[in-house]
Structure 1
Amino acid sequence: MPCSPLPISLEIGLTFGCILQISVYQTVDTGHEDIIHDAQMNYHGTTLATCSSDEVIKLFDVKDKKQKLIVELRGHQGPVWGLSWSHPIHGNLLASCSYDRSVIVWAEHEGKWVKFYEYKDHKSSVNAVAWAPHEYGLVLACGSSDGIISILTYTSACTWDAVKIPDAHTSGVNAISWAPAVNADFMLNPSLSQTASGLLKRIVSGGCDCLVKIWREDPSTGGWVKEAQLEGGHTEWVRDVAWCPSLSLARQQIASCGQDGCVIVWQSLRRRPDSYINATGLLGGDGGGGGGEDTAEGVWKPVVLATYPDVVWHVSWSLTGNILAVSGGDNKVSYHTYFLISTFFSSVLCSLLVVII
């Protein structure tokens, strides 16, 4: 099973202030007949999507502390593992993946939800789906137990093109996350064009080979190449990865978690242009300490954030990138708050943006 077993009741929590006090904002009784594997809020936080081993996807209107079932989506022939909402600039789209080896893109059209597209080219369970930042267009990444990552792109001809990354992870891909679309090098040196600044599609993946890998698109061929393999981290399957969405000028961060109970934050200091260093007096460097992998922008360093006594299933960044939420097999969710001094402080709480109880 690629996803954590979750009960059929969900709570939505809110945080207040920097001390991360948590209160239960809303409880949703989903009515699923089996284990829930994923729950995702849409961009505006008004609709909750859930999926389950009962093969059903449910959408709930959760505005104003109310619970209203909008629709039940039935199209998969097996447990539904994961969901991903697109940015609303592309319309109201929801992607789902399943043990039945398929990916379905659902669309709201004239008030009704319909099957917009179905991808069935994987040979094993599809465990993860993730929409790209909207700046890249309508692009969906899918990771499967067959070890392949598929990148699906909606074209101007109203068709879908599929590009595969074969043998991405031995024995299977468990998680995928996209890098932010904005490249900090361009922000630091506006004289660079966006193309020259390397505004390329990049993803991070985790798999059953205990590795975290970074991939980037080669614009000359349209294919994807491995940019970095982050070793020296997990000793068992990687269960989730999350690229920090913050557009920090100083560093990139990727969080990963695994069957080994470890939560790791991989950090890469960005290489600043000489003009920026001369103007600010700031020096580059790799941040010191530990091993890592060279990337186009620096060296990736693993920082073990926490070790738990049970499997850690999911990691999720706040939109500002200064809070990391961690959920695991101990039925707890922890918030880890990041300060500019590059130190994480954590406190065990009982809630998440979408909280599983």
Structure 2
Amino acid sequence: MVSLLQEIDTEHEDMVHHAALDFYGQLLATCSSDGTIRIFNSRKNNKVLTELKGHQGPVWQVAWAHPKFGSILASCSYDRKVIIWKSTTPRDWTKLYEYSNHDSSVNSVDFAPPEYGLVLACASSDGSISVLTCNTEYGSWDAKKIPNAHTIGVNAISWCPAQAPDPAFDQRVTSRNTAVKRLVSGGCDNLVKVWREDNDRWVDEHHLEAHSDWVRDVAWAPSIGLPRMQIASASQDRHVIIWNSNADLTQWTSTVLHTFDDAVWSISWSTTGNVLAVTGGDNNVSLWKENSEGQWIRINYESGTATQSKQSHHLRNPQQQPQQQPPSNKPVMSDSERSSNLSNSNLSHSQMSN
């Protein structure tokens, strides 16, 4: 069942684009078109602990690192910069690193699983992806770029879990899969791409084609020991698609979760990987769960029950999907598009229980 826990006035002076809780659910970071990031204590009156200023444009997204590295937050902005912040106390933050080697807006950032070290992936409208790796011994950063990752621009990035499918389910799962770093990205070329690190470079491993418009978000599901992996993708074509891999990640199949009433901007998996939250241009948040028959069902907000979506189906031929008019020429992730349905600078918390 889903219930409203609290509503927070962020006191931002412009549109709020993203909000993220830290690993322990104690600190809440928000970012806005006013160019600032705000940190709240979500367990003590939701008061603003500090305001971080360093960007010269709208801040699109924030991401927390694993706490084994300390209290570290990354932010990305229309100003083409990525800033990594570190705190000594909840109120005292400093710039740990600033990366400004993109030629256009940086739209998405995501920290890698902690098993890989302190590593951050960044997606930009210049069409490239950057992977920033911290040498914790010397305090320096190494940047590697994937050029021309997506035509026109990259909108979203997400890391593959470090834990591979359980070999107890399928003997084809090998230790090789556990050591390989992978990323998934979504772009303005309507594609979802899976990238694999190979000998210190990144290889385009799979092109996943099913969307007919810009892919606005991608999310790699947490590994829960099943002999497969899952990726969710959300698009301006109003579809959310679930991609399922085979055991050795050599093949992917797609299922349309639902066709929504408007473009879908954002998706997020629960910690256990069994519930997907979806939000978009219809100003609604919906929660979806896969049943034992592999069908995606929507969780009813009021009753706590789940109802099957009649539109959930497997794609046999993605090219037969209805085509929409291409989007008009406009900057990737404009202010209004990045709003994440948070109006009047107010932010709401929801809690899920199964």
TM-score with structure 1 length normalisation? 0.81
Query: Residue 164 of structure 2 corresponds to which residue in structure 1?
Result: 183
- Distance in 2 between the 1:311 and 1:26 partners? 27
Query: Residue 232 of structure 2 corresponds to which residue in structure 1?
Result: 255
Is 1:172 aligned to residue 149 of structure 2? no
CA shift, 1:343, in A, is: 1.3
- Distance in 2 between the 1:187 and 1:154 partners? 34
CA shift, 1:248, in A, is: 3.0
- Distance in 2 between the 1:147 and 1:47 partners? 32
AA aligned to 2:207 is: Q
CA shift, 1:178, in A, is: 0.5
Equivalent residue runs for 1:75-86 within 5 Å: 75-86=54-65
Per chain length, whose mean CA-contact separation is higher, i.e. which structure has more relative contact order (CA < 8 Å, sep 6+)? 2
Query: Residue 288 of structure 1 corresponds to which residue in structure 2?
Result: none
- Distance in 2 between the 1:318 and 1:138 partners? 22
Query: Which residue of the other structure, out of 243, 263, 273, is the alignment partner of 1:321?
Result: 273
Deviation digits for residues 188-209 of structure 1, max 9, x if unmatched? 5899984x34421101000000
Q: 1:239 to 1:302 in 2, by over 3 A?
A: same
Query: Residue 228 of structure 1 corresponds to which residue in structure 2?
Result: 206
Query: Which residue of the other structure, out of 225, 241, 255, is the alignment partner of 1:264?
Result: 241
Query: Residue 49 of structure 1 corresponds to which residue in structure 2?
Result: 29
Query: Residue 294 of structure 2 corresponds to which residue in structure 1?
Result: 342
Structure 1 segments unaligned to the other structure (5+ residues): 1-20, 271-295
**Conservation of the 8 A alpha-carbon contact between 1:216 and 1:226:** yes
**Conservation of the 8 A alpha-carbon contact between 2:269 and 2:277:** yes
**Conservation of the 8 A alpha-carbon contact between 1:141 and 1:152:** yes
1:127 counterpart SS class = strand
Query: Which residue of the other structure, out of 107, 120, 141, is the alignment partner of 1:160?
Result: 141
Q: 1:192 to 1:263 in 2, by over 3 A?
A: closer
Q: 1:305 to 1:327 in 2, by over 3 A?
A: same
**Conservation of the 8 A alpha-carbon contact between 2:162 and 2:178:** no
1:89 counterpart SS class = helix
Query: Which residue of the other structure, out of 204, 212, 232, is the alignment partner of 2:184?
Result: 204
Deviation digits for residues 295-352 of structure 1, max 9, x if unmatched? x524211100001121100011111111111001111001101123211111464987
Query: Residue 69 of structure 1 corresponds to which residue in structure 2?
Result: 48
AA aligned to 1:181 is: A
Query: Residue 105 of structure 1 corresponds to which residue in structure 2?
Result: 84
- Distance in 1 between the 2:17 and 2:351 partners? 13
AA aligned to 2:103 is: K
**Conservation of the 8 A alpha-carbon contact between 2:166 and 2:227:** no
- Distance in 2 between the 1:258 and 1:47 partners? 30
Equivalent residue runs for 1:253-332 within 5 Å: 253-270=230-247, 296-332=248-284
TM-score with structure 2 length normalisation? 0.82
AA aligned to 1:59 is: I
